[in-house]
Structure 1
Amino acid sequence: MADGTVFRGITPLSPSKDVEKTIQFYFDVLGFKPNGYGGVIRGDVEILFYQTNDQKLAEWTSFRIHVQGVEQLYETYQSAGVVHPNGKLSMKPWGNLEFAIIDLDGVCITFFEKRE
């Protein structure tokens, strides 16, 4: 459907056992800045958090963030010890170079760069 609408991004809602602690982790370890209303922002990416004690929600939540400079980001996060053991930087058959982390609450985040 070509109606002239331009999509600019998406803001995921991510579960958290302790929103303030999660925001601090994203700030200290992942390089995001607090947005002042329950989330974080880095570049054009914003993530909002909601309080929950349901661990399964976090473990079943994942999202992907498209970045430029994925190799540098990987090195930074590898040094911080947050890269998931099964999520090391690799080229995927669909043309993305990507890696994954698990945040404090168990949410899986994949960072990727298109390499077609």
Structure 2
Amino acid sequence: MPETLVHQLKDPAARKALAEALHALFDEWALPQEDRTELLAWPGLGPEAPLPQDAGVLERAGHLLAIGRALRRAYPYQPHRRGGWVSLPEPALGGASPLQLMLAEGLKGICRVRELIESEQ
């Protein structure tokens, strides 16, 4: 499983910046609030609040942001492709979309999706 050090963040300003980055990513993916909540396993994501100092939430955030970063590298000039990739069926995932897998499997699914997109680069 790929690692992320985000779960070690203690600074509220850094955690607020992470929340803002996640908002932008989730907006790009056009995710409804319920999917955002489920992906983070935390209902409190808001535009002004920092992420909680919770290792599980921060670990998920780190992996999700890594997926977003990998998509920007894979499709630097195709924002619609970046935004839609998580919702499209993926043969490497048995025809499920990356979003379906992440929602169904939680952290394990998020890590699988991260490994998939990073392996394609």
Q: Same fold (TM over 0.5)?
A: no
TM-score (norm 1): 0.28
Point out the structure with the larger strand share.
1
Higher relative contact order (CA 8 A, sep 6+): 2
Point out the structure with the larger helix share.
2
TM-score (norm 2): 0.27
Which protein shows a greater Rg? Answer: 1
